[in-house]
C-alpha cells in the first residue's frame, strides 16, 4: 500500500530511503527495545504479582484476581522473548523475529488480555468518590475505573514502532471503551450522589472546551443544554478514552520515535538532516497547544455520538440499570 508508506513518511515515522529505514529498525530494537524491555517487564511483573496477592488475600479467589494472575503472562513473555533474541546472537534474522513476536504480543495483550483485565477487575477496585469530591478527583476516578488508564499506560510503557502503534492503539481503545462504558456508568450512577458527580465532571470538561474554543475563535462560545446523567457519563468516558488513551498516547509514541530517529541519524553522521531536527522545548509546547485545540474541538464532536438532550430521558436508577 503505497499510500500507507507515504502517510508514514509525512508523519515522520519512516525514512524515504529503505536501506536507512532497515538500519534504523535494527538500531531501535537493539538500543531501545532490548535495552528497556527487561527492566520494564521485571518491574511490571513485581507490581502485578503484588497486586494479585493482595487481591487474593483481601477478596479471595474472585474472577478479577484470576485475571490478574493471568496478566503475569505478559511480562514473563517479554522476558522470554528478550532472552531468546540475545541467545540467538542478535543477528538480523533474530532481531526481525523478535520485532514480529513483540508486535504480535503487543496487539494480543492490548486488544484482548488487558481489556479482559479491565472488564473483570477495575470496577471492583476503583469505587465511586465521596459526596464532597471536586472535579479533578472525579475525573481521576472516571479515568481509572473506566479503564482509560490502561491504553495510556500500556502504550507508553511498551512502545512499538509508530506504524504498528497506529493500528494497535485504536483497536485497544475501542475494545476497552466498548466493554467498560456500560458497566462503569451503571456503577457510577447507582448511588444517590452518582448523577451529581458525573455531571460535575461533564461540566468541567464542557467548560474547559468552551473556554479554549473561545480563545481560538476570539469570541464567546455559547453553552448548549446540559444532558442527563447517563449520556453525560458516556460522553466523559468516551472523551477520556479518545483524548488520553488514544490521542495523548499516540503523541508520546510519536515523540519517542522522532527522538530515537534523530539519535539514530546522529550515530550515522547525518546531523541536521532537513525535517529531522530536534524539536526543542518550544517546538513541543507549540505542538501541545495545537493538540489541546484539537481536543477542545473533539469534545463537542464526540458529544454528538452519545448525547441525548431530550428532556426527561433520565429516570434515575432505572436509566442507570439499562446501560449495557
Res 254: pLDDT: 92
280 Rama sector, left if φ>0, alpha if ψ -120 to 50, beta otherwise: left
Q: Can you give the three-state secondary structure of 273-312, one letter per residue?
A: CCCCCCCHHHHHHHHHHHHHHHHHHHHHHHHHHHCCCCCC
pTM as predicted: 0.82
Q: What is the pLDDT of residues 44-56, one digit of tens each?
A: 778 777 777 776 7
Please, which pLDDT band fits residue 175 given cuts at 50, 70 and 90?
very high
Res 280: pLDDT: 76
Highest mean pLDDT among 116-120, 193-197, 304-308, 311-315: 193-197
For residues 229 and 314, is the Cβ–Cβ distance under 8 A? yes
Res 63: pLDDT: 66
Q: What is the pLDDT of residues 240-295, one digit of tens each?
A: 999 999 999 999 999 999 989 988 988 887 765 666 777 778 888 888 888 888 88
Spell out the domain ranges in the chain: 2-321
Q: How far apart are CA 15 and CA 232, in angstroms?
A: 43
38 Rama sector, left if φ>0, alpha if ψ -120 to 50, beta otherwise: alpha
The answer, yes or no, to whether residue 108 has pLDDT greater than 50, is yes
Amino acid at each position: 500500500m503505497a499510500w500507507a508508506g507515504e502517510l508514514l513518511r509525512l508523519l515522520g515515522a519512516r525514512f524515504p530511503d529503505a536501506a536507512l529505514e532497515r538500519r534504523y529498525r535494527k538500531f531501535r530494537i537493539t538500543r531501545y527495545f532490548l535495552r528497556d524491555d527487561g527492566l520494564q517487564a521485571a518491574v511490571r511483573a513485581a507490581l502485578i504479582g503484588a497486586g494479585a496477592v493482595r487481591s487474593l488475600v483481601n477478596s479471595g479467589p474472585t474472577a478479577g484476581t484470576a485475571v490478574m494472575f493471568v496478566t503475569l503472562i505478559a511480562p514473563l513473555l517479554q522476558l522470554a522473548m528478550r532472552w531468546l533474541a540475545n541467545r540467538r546472537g542478535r543477528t538480523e534474522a533474530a532481531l526481525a523475529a523478535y520485532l514480529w513476536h513483540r508486535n504480535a504480543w503487543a496487539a494480543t495483550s492490548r486488544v484482548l488480555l488487558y481489556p479482559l483485565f479491565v472488564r473483570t477487575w477495575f470496577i471492583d477496585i476503583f469505587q465511586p468518590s465521596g459526596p464532597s469530591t471536586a472535579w479533578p478527583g472525579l475525573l481521576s476516578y472516571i479515568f481509572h475505573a473506566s479503564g482509560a488508564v490502561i491504553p495510556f499506560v500500556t502504550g507508553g510503557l511498551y512502545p512499538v514502532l509508530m506504524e504498528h502503534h497506529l493500528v494497535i492503539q485504536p483497536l485497544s481503545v475501542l475494545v476497552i471503551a466498548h466493554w467498560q462504558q456500560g458497566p462503569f456508568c451503571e456503577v457510577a450512577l447507582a448511588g444517590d450522589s452518582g448523577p451529581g458527580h458525573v455531571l460535575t465532571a461533564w461540566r468541567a470538561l464542557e467548560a474547559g472546551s468552551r473556554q479554549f474554543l473561545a480563545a481560538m475563535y476570539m469570541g464567546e462560545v455559547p453553552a448548549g443544554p446540559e444532558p442527563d446523567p447517563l449520556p453525560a457519563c458516556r460522553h466523559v468516558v468516551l472523551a477520556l478514552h479518545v483524548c488520553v488513551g488514544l490521542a495523548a498516547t499516540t503523541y508520546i509514541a510519536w515523540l519517542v520515535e522522532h527522538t530515537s530517529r534523530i539519535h539514530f541519524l546522529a550515530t550515522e553522521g547525518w546531523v541536521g538532516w532537513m525535517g529531522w531536527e530536534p524539536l526543542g522545548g518550544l517546538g513541543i509546547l507549540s505542538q501541545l497547544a495545537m493538540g489541546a485545540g484539537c481536543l477542545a474541538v473533539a469534545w463537542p464532536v464526540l458529544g454528538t455520538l452519545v448525547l441525548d438532550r431530550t428532556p426527561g430521558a433520565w429516570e434515575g436508577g432505572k436509566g442507570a440499570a439499562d446501560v449495557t
